Amino acid sequence: MIFRSMKLAGIIVGVVVVAALLVRGTVLDWTIIPPGYTGIKVNRLVNRGITREDVVTGFVFFNPIQSTVIVYPTFVQRVIWTHDLKEGNPVNEELTFNTKDSVPVNLDVAVSYLLDAEKVPEFYTKFRADRIESFTHGFLRDTARNAVVMIGSEYAFDDINGSKKEEFLNRLAKELGSRVSPIGVTIQQFGLIGALRPPPALLDAVNAKTRAIQDSIKVENELRSSQAEAKKKIALAEGEAAANRALASSIDDRLLAWERIKLQKDAIAKWNGQMPSVMSGESGGMLFNVPTPIAPAVRK
């Protein structure tokens, strides 16, 4: 029974496909809405809004004279707006704004967003766009540029180019998300590509300031290192001086006499009993005095 049911279902599908092929180009047409997409069946002859009944998926038949099907992706879309003609669209799409201190700044950004399938009817009713790219490089870019201009004017250039850059980007993402959320668009990511681009003269000044700070830090570190080395040498010298003073204070006449006796004992132990042939000084260079032998008396 199961085999017969499957066979019958296959025959029905085959008949439907053949019928579609036969009528395509006459009074009926068909299309397939793949996974990750949502289709809108639009009635060309009636000027009314799109309803949930007009949202179609899968295998769809329609009368090409009266209707058309618009397909939108419902997976994450990513777009790049940059001055580089080799990325994104082959036109300059960089965003520009003036900071609080009147510095003109250009920036390249990457945006990821998601279209809510539940709000696709409202999305189409508002924009009437046949391609999602029209929305991406039109309304979405204009909205992002307006957000950048508004928020960028609240910061000084040194802030957004330094410690407050992350805060600046987070505010931009939040502001853009709040503006497009009512139309069924969710911002997944808003990021900066490369660095902010101020006028060349200001950029040179910023680079010079950065180098000056780095050089100052380097000199300060070298000074600290020299001071530490000097303190180390002073500490060693003071230690040696203290040791010498301690040694000098421990030497007295008795210790010197004892050392002299030790040297004499060593010399006596090594003496061969002969008088040195050359002598100088009071004791002839000896460590101890050798008495002069007395000659025996001569009897007359």
- Summarize pLDDT for 165-177 with one digit per residue, the tens: 999 999 999 999 9
Q: What percentage of the chain exceeds 70 in pLDDT?
A: 69
pLDDT value at 181 more than 80: yes
Indicate whether 41 belongs to any domain. Answer: yes
- Same domain (yes/no): 154, 215: no
Q: Which of 72, 95, 124 is the last residue of a domain?
A: 72
Show the domain range for 66.
Answer: 9-72
Q: Report pLDDT for 23.
A: 47
Structural domain count of the chain: 3
- Same domain (yes/no): 169, 102: yes
pLDDT value at 3 more than 50: no
Q: Report pLDDT for 125.
A: 82
Q: Report pLDDT for 145.
A: 95
- Same domain (yes/no): 59, 138: no
Helices (H), the chain: 2-23, 120-127, 132-135, 141-152, 157-160, 165-180, 200-250, 253-270
Q: Hey, what are 112's tokens?
A: 């990821």
Q: Report pLDDT for 274.
A: 67
- Side chain identity, residue 50: I
- Same domain (yes/no): 53, 41: yes
Crossing angle of the two packed helices 141-152 and 165-180, in degrees rounded to 10? 140
Q: Hey, what are 162's tokens?
A: 């330094």
Indicate whether 275 belongs to any domain. Answer: no
- Same domain (yes/no): 83, 194: yes
Contact 98, 105 (CB under 8 A): yes
- Same domain (yes/no): 152, 87: yes
Give residue 26's Cα distance to chain centre: 59
Give the tens place of pLDDT for each residue, 47-77. 566 766 678 778 888 778 878 888 889 899 9
pLDDT value at 224 more than 70: yes
- Same domain (yes/no): 43, 103: no
C-alpha distances in Å from residue 294, one per residue of 85, 284, 291, 297: 121, 18, 9, 9
Provide mean pLDDT across the span 37-52. Answer: 74
Q: Hey, what are 21's tokens?
A: 């092929």
- Same domain (yes/no): 170, 225: no
In 3D space, the residue among 113, 115, 77, 109 whose CA is nearest the CA of residue 95 turns out to be: 109
Q: Report pLDDT for 22.
A: 46
Name the residue with higher pLDDT: 99 or 210. Answer: 99
Name the residue with higher pLDDT: 284 or 48. Answer: 48
CATH code for the domain of 153: 3.30.479.30
- Same domain (yes/no): 51, 129: no
φ, ψ of residue 69 to 5 degrees: the values are: -120, 125
- Same domain (yes/no): 171, 214: no
Indicate whether 273 belongs to any domain. Answer: no
Indicate whether 255 belongs to any domain. Answer: no
- Same domain (yes/no): 106, 152: yes
Indicate whether 84 belongs to any domain. Answer: yes
Q: Binning pLDDT at 50, 70 and 90, where does residue 226 land?
A: confident
Name the residue with higher pLDDT: 274 or 151. Answer: 151
pLDDT value at 114 more than 90: yes
Model confidence pTM above 0.75 = no
What is the distance between the alpha carbons of residues 25 and 22, in angstroms, rounded to a whole number? 8
Q: Which of 72, 91, 107 is the last residue of a domain?
A: 72
What is the distance between the alpha carbons of residues 45 and 74, in angstroms, rounded to a whole number? 27
What is the distance between the alpha carbons of residues 267 and 10, in angstroms, rounded to a whole number? 126
Indicate whether 259 belongs to any domain. Answer: no
Indicate whether 263 belongs to any domain. Answer: no
Q: Report pLDDT for 136.
A: 92
Region of 81 on the Ramachandran plot (φ > 0 left; ψ -120 to 50 alpha; else beta): beta
- Same domain (yes/no): 15, 55: yes
User: DSSP code of 50?
Assistant: -
pLDDT value at 94 more than 50: yes
Contact 107, 151 (CB under 8 A): no
Q: Report pLDDT for 25.
A: 47
What is the average pLDDT value for the chain, to the nearest integer? 77
In 3D space, the residue among 98, 95, 99, 97 whose CA is nearest the CA of residue 110 turns out to be: 95
Indicate whether 136 belongs to any domain. Answer: yes
Q: Report pLDDT for 198.
A: 85
